[in-house]
Amino acid sequence: MTTRTDDDPSGTALERAEAAATPTIRPETPDDIDAISELHRTSFRRPAEAELVDAIRRSAHFIPELSLVAELNGRIVGHLLLSRVELVPAAGDAVPLLALAPVAVDPLHQGRGIGTLLTRAGLALADVRGIEAGVAVLGSPDFYRRFGFVAAEAEGIDGPWDAPPGVFQVLALGSAGPELPEGVVTYPAPFSLV
């Protein structure tokens, strides 16, 4: 058993190695499902997000290559899910979007940039797909602004939740050009779980 001592203020050798290691970001596999569920339950301290991931995985809104895990030393320490939603403009056809939700990082590994790595990887993959016009997220403006997200209400876009100003955000992907049309983002039934 290794312990922290005054001679080693930065922690055990294993803790230092894990802190310095960069996790592998990759799509989930069937073998990851239980670990992803446990990660969400631990990170959010409730079952709703784990149930949301499972419900989306069983739906037509699931995109396997956009369910990403962060793996470190053989353990799943982070997960990000991008799934299909729509932006319904006042006139015209619905525009395909992605919902970025949920994102979880093991509490023991938070603050090490894992959420940032997952978000960058997910957005890059979404942009390369060239199918969806953008991404919607309900989350910290300080965190998501770094990736180019803007307040949805400033773009004339509304969502189904009564969120504080700036918390519901959107990001136009390359295929959409510089901006998304005004309208309402609609989410499928599984999102009612959270």
Q: Return the domain boundaries, the chain.
A: 23-193
pLDDT digits 0-9 by tens, 74-105: 999 999 999 999 999 988 899 999 999 999 99
- The per-residue pLDDT for range 110-132, each reduced to its tens digit, is 999 999 999 999 999 999 999 99
Identify the CATH class of 23-193: alpha beta
As a whole number of angstroms, the distance between CA 90 and CA 182 comes to 7
Residue 17 in contact with residue 8, Cβ under 8 Å?
Answer: no
Q: Provide the whole-model pTM.
A: 0.86
Say yes or no to pLDDT of 159 above 70.
yes
What mean pLDDT comes out for the span 128-144? 95
Radius of gyration, alpha carbons of the chain: 18
The burial class, CB within 10 Å (0-12 / 13-18 / 19+), for 46 is exposed
Determine the pLDDT at residue 192.
78
The helix or strand, by DSSP H or E, that contains position 126, with its residue range, turns out to be helix 114-129
